[in-house]
Amino acid sequence: TNQKNNANTFRKTFNGKVRDLPKGVYQNGSGFCAKIKVNYETFCLGTYKTPEAASAAYMEAAGRYFGGFARQD
């Protein structure tokens, strides 16, 4: 399905440039927010001090929601 195909995509680009942050991680003030979208619904996984911690939270959630279709970057 489209959702499973999008679960294993690479990081998104902006104006042809690859983002500096891992997939599912966004800058939020002085911290980093991890978000995941499942069945057209966005879930905030929390705010973390480092992008690595936020990425680990995203990867755990991706494995739980998408199983073998999750890209493990």
Does this model's pTM top 0.75?
no
Structure tokens at 17: 């440039």
Could you read off the pLDDT of 15-59 as tens digits, one per residue? 555 568 888 898 888 899 999 999 999 999 999 999 999 999 999
3-state secondary structure of 41: strand
pLDDT at 11: 56
CB 70 within 8 A of CB 61: no
